[in-house]
Amino acid sequence: MPTPRTRPDYSADERTQLVGWLDLQRSIVRWKCEGISEEDAHRAVLPGSPLMTVAGIVSHLRWTEHGWFQVIFRDQEAHLNPQYAEAAEEDADFMADGIPLDLLLEAYDRECTASNSVFSVHAPDAPSQHPRFTSGAPSLRWIVLHMIEETARHAGHLDAIREILDGERGYY
């Protein structure tokens, strides 16, 4: 089934627009994963970025959703991919070797649902709760805007990687 990709209505309220734009970018991420082979999902095509794979990006985006909405905003425990939970390496959230893409997408979908539920019960200007986030307390609005930017940037990476891997391309 194709992933729906729709923009929020021009006259929608702020919450609907913010979640709508984020959900659009999330759906583009899912779209870029449709029909890709497991081998290609884990294939690095950028010589200087061996972790920049389709699977690695989905893993990273799952962690980013969790990190911003659950850890920083709600002050919950961090849960990286169990396989790499103890990894001290930088970019461990991109490490997806041996993890099937469908499992990564399921985990990503769960985090997106959890993120949307956070936004559904807190005001956009509510401050984050993480006491050890030393640069300040970003509002939920700031977090959602950052996640739109982060997800869109990686959707662009996925677009280029997919075209290199198998010629699949398209926008929106």
CA distances from 78 to 37, 108, 140 (A): 30, 15, 18
Work out the pLDDT band at 116, boundaries 50, 70, 90.
very high
Residue 135: pLDDT over 80: no
CA gap 36, 53 in Å, rounded: 12
Residue 48: pLDDT over 70: yes
Residue 64: pLDDT over 50: yes
Contact predicate 103/110, CB 8 Å: no
Residue 88: pLDDT over 90: no
- Write the burial class of residue 61 (CB in 10 Å: 0-12 exposed, 13-18 middle, 19+ buried): buried
Residue 164: pLDDT over 90: yes
Helix (H, G, I), strand (E, B) or coil at 139: strand
pTM of the model: 0.90
